[in-house]
Chains A and B, each alone.
Chain A
Amino acid sequence: MSRNLILGACLSSLVLLAALVSFVWTPYDYAALNIPEKLQPPNAEHLFGTDHFGRDMFSMIMVGARTSIAVALVAVGIGMALGVPLGLAAAARKGSWLDEVIMRGNDLVFAFPSLVIAILITAVFGAGAINAIIAIGIFNIPVFARITRGAALSLWEREFILAARVSGKGAARISVEHILPNVANLLIVQGTIQFSLGILAEAGLSYVGLGAQPPTPSWGRMLADAQTMVSFAPHLALIPGLAIIITVLGLNLLGDGLRDWLDPRIRVARA
């Protein structure tokens, strides 16, 4: 196991742990206002200080981790649940109209950055965490469809697939029983990368007000709130930013490490 993998796993678990623990315990009530203790810099009582309403930043960061992880995780789930079957189908019927429709559809979705999808959805249905999930999730579909199709295409040329066909299995059954297990590693690695992109996207969306709405804490909105106070309370901006960086860095390292670990045959150029 590489250093990347270990460091990435540690950072990611740290954030995950904070999110899970926040369900049963936070140092303070994350929503409790305490105006007399507002805008404290980090100290022994409040490890990460307090915000302009005197809320404990440490507790808000913990609960914010929950929001970030939930949004990004469900978005990756949507991307996989829809993208992988589409990619498998396109590869199984390579060159057919189905393949063509799926791939052109992919190109089309690619032309809508998740921010643009979020703007459209919000303009119509209003802002909220669900809409952020849908926007990031839609953006993930073509990513998984493409990577699944690409990997599946080369597998379809292999002899063990030919053997399966000779034994009378249909394309759908081969896709599920033989292709899918062989692309699983690739999907796990890509899933990790998309997860980290999802964390960044969620932060961006909630920063501009298109994500989770108050009182649900989210790192992006904490940054938006901090913006006008950055000159006299820089910790309000520093801490949520560092939380995002640690999470994204951890997931990226984890993804890189997993790729090397799961597939030692490929010499990875690490783009």
Chain B
Amino acid sequence: MLRYALKRLISLMISLAVASVVIFAVIEVAPGDPASFMLGVNAQEDTLAALRAELGLDGSKVQRYFNWVGGMLVGDFGTSYTYRTPVSQMIADRLWVSLPLALYALTLSTVIAFPVGIYAAARRGKPGDLTVMGATQLGIAVPNFWFAMMLVLIFAINLRWFNAGGFAGWDNGFWTGIHSLTLPAIALALPQAAILARVMRSSLLDILGEDFMRTARAKGLSRRQALWRHGVRNALIPVLTIIGLQFSFLLAGSIIIEQVFYLPGLGRLVFQAISARDLIVVESVVMLLVFAVITVNFLVDLAYAAVDPRLRSRT
């Protein structure tokens, strides 16, 4: 297990390193000099040079790459070109919206998908199953940001149960914060729940066909007992992988959903940064997202190997 974990860790490091080079190289192609952009066309040459030095833009490309990566390793993401504040501080503030939103949506999607998937598998081919399959087929086809707009129309504008947008902040209490993230989380979660319920169903159906399920019935367990004690537990392994992968979808998806609800999360930060040509912010947020995806996949691989020892021999 340790050997496997170490091997995966090395591959994780390489992925992160290559990803950082790619991101840096793409941003580097961007036309225009941030210093002259900030100071305007009439800036003096020596002021420009001073600002470039202050922003760390005066070294060679290789030097700047290592400054950037080295800084990130110790939590220094550089200084925003437009706000002149540390990027790490800006990201940390926004992360307190985006991360809880993604986790909230992940929880919702799991809580909805599990019972629905189990229900459908237990009633395979019957009207209940067909209804679930039809509904999930539809759920997959619904764009989450459109669904979000419909939620706003129904629950915020007509019923007035929620605010149509904005974030109350965590300072006014945990439940106030959760309340303002509820509609966005539902919008993010439902399409994912549709996918997850289908995975849960098909995984459970595979298990139900196994010999040990017949044995369980033969030794006198009822259908229900066999389903819960042996079926669901074994079906969870592939489902957990999908849940892990969904986290990265949810984090990326929250970028779009934040636009619907005017939430001050990473998504708004990155779009503001794009229009202000604040490339250091774009660069850092993108790196952070990629880091999250790669790390979550790594953790899922490890969890998977811990549960199923056969996988350790494969790379």
Confirm or deny: A269 has a beta carbon within 8 angstroms of a beta carbon on chain B.
yes
What CA separation (Å) do A248 and B138 show in the bound complex? 9
**Judging by beta carbons under 8 Å apart, are A252 and B141 in contact?**
yes
- Interface set, chain B 123-172, CB cutoff 8 A to A: 133, 137-138, 140-143, 145-146, 149-150, 152-153, 157
**Judging by beta carbons under 8 Å apart, are B286 and A237 in contact?**
no
Interface residues as binary, A102-127 with B (CB distance below 8 Å gives 1, 0 otherwise): 00100110111101100111111000
CB-CB nearest in chain A for B31: A124
**Judging by beta carbons under 8 Å apart, are B199 and A241 in contact?**
no
- Interface set, chain A 73-99, CB cutoff 8 A to B: none
What CA separation (Å) do A162 and B26 show in the bound complex? 44
Confirm or deny: B193 has a beta carbon within 8 angstroms of a beta carbon on chain A.
no
**Judging by beta carbons under 8 Å apart, are B137 and A113 in contact?**
no
**Judging by beta carbons under 8 Å apart, are A244 and B30 in contact?**
no
Residues of A within 8 A of B271 (CB): 208-209
**Judging by beta carbons under 8 Å apart, are A120 and B282 in contact?**
yes
**Judging by beta carbons under 8 Å apart, are A244 and B146 in contact?**
yes
Q: In the complex, which of the residues B27, B146, B267, B282 contacts A223, with contact meaning CB atoms closer than 8 Å? A: B146
CB-CB nearest in chain A for B295: A111
**Judging by beta carbons under 8 Å apart, are B30 and A269 in contact?**
no
CB-CB nearest in chain B for A105: B18
Residues of B within 8 A of A240 (CB): 146
**Judging by beta carbons under 8 Å apart, are A231 and B279 in contact?**
no
Given that A230-B152, A231-B153, A269-B206 are contacting pairs, would A113 and B249 also be in contact in the complex, using a CB cutoff of 8 Å?
Answer: yes
- Interface set, chain A 194-232, CB cutoff 8 A to B: 196, 200, 203-204, 207-209, 223, 226-227, 230-231
**Band of interface residues on A:** 35 or more
**Judging by beta carbons under 8 Å apart, are B150 and A241 in contact?**
yes
**Judging by beta carbons under 8 Å apart, are A223 and B140 in contact?**
no
Residues of B within 8 A of A227 (CB): 149, 260
Residues of B within 8 A of A110 (CB): 293, 297
A2 to chain B, nearest CB (A): 13
CB-CB nearest in chain B for A247: B141
Counting chain A CB atoms within 10 Å of each CB, the highest count among B11, B140, B157 belongs to: B140
Given that A120-B27, A223-B146 are contacting pairs, would A252 and B140 also be in contact in the complex, using a CB cutoff of 8 Å?
Answer: yes
Confirm or deny: A151 has a beta carbon within 8 angstroms of a beta carbon on chain B.
no
Residues of B within 8 A of A271 (CB): 198-199, 202
Residues of A within 8 A of B249 (CB): 113
Given that A207-B259, A231-B153 are contacting pairs, would A113 and B15 also be in contact in the complex, using a CB cutoff of 8 Å?
Answer: no
Interface residues as binary, A149-186 with B (CB distance below 8 Å gives 1, 0 otherwise): 00000000000000000000000000000000000000
Confirm or deny: A130 has a beta carbon within 8 angstroms of a beta carbon on chain B.
no
CB-CB nearest in chain A for B251: A113
**Judging by beta carbons under 8 Å apart, are A207 and B293 in contact?**
no
What CA separation (Å) do A124 and B24 show in the bound complex? 11
What CA separation (Å) do A226 and B152 show in the bound complex? 13
**Judging by beta carbons under 8 Å apart, are B149 and A226 in contact?**
yes
A226 to chain B, nearest CB (A): 7
Residues of B within 8 A of A200 (CB): 141, 143
**Judging by beta carbons under 8 Å apart, are B202 and A269 in contact?**
yes
**Judging by beta carbons under 8 Å apart, are B27 and A269 in contact?**
no
Residues of A within 8 A of B252 (CB): 113, 115-116
B81 to chain A, nearest CB (A): 12
**Judging by beta carbons under 8 Å apart, are A253 and B137 in contact?**
yes
Interface residues as binary, B250-273 with A (CB distance below 8 Å gives 1, 0 otherwise): 001101100110000001001101
Residues of A within 8 A of B243 (CB): none
**Judging by beta carbons under 8 Å apart, are A123 and B142 in contact?**
no
Confirm or deny: B290 has a beta carbon within 8 angstroms of a beta carbon on chain A.
yes
**Judging by beta carbons under 8 Å apart, are B138 and A120 in contact?**
no
Counting chain B CB atoms within 10 Å of each CB, the highest count among A113, A234, A252 belongs to: A113
**Judging by beta carbons under 8 Å apart, are B206 and A111 in contact?**
no
What CA separation (Å) do A208 and B260 show in the bound complex? 9
Residues of A within 8 A of B149 (CB): 223, 226-227, 230, 237, 241
Pairs across A and B, CB under 8 Å, 8 listed: A104-B11, A111-B15, A115-B255, A223-B149, A226-B149, A245-B146, A253-B137, A270-B133
Interface residues of A (CB under 8 A from B): 104, 107-108, 110-113, 115-116, 119-124, 196, 200, 203-204, 207-209, 223, 226-227, 230-231, 234, 237, 240-241, 244-245, 248-249, 252-253, 269-271
Interface residues of B (CB under 8 A from A): 11, 14-15, 18-19, 22-23, 26-27, 29-30, 133, 137-138, 140-143, 145-146, 149-150, 152-153, 157, 198-199, 202, 205-206, 248-249, 252-253, 255-256, 259-260, 267, 270-271, 273-274, 277, 279, 282, 286, 289-290, 293-294, 297
List the 8 shortest-distance A-B pairs measured between CB atoms, nearest first: A241-B146, A248-B141, A269-B202, A249-B141, A113-B252, A124-B30, A123-B282, A271-B202
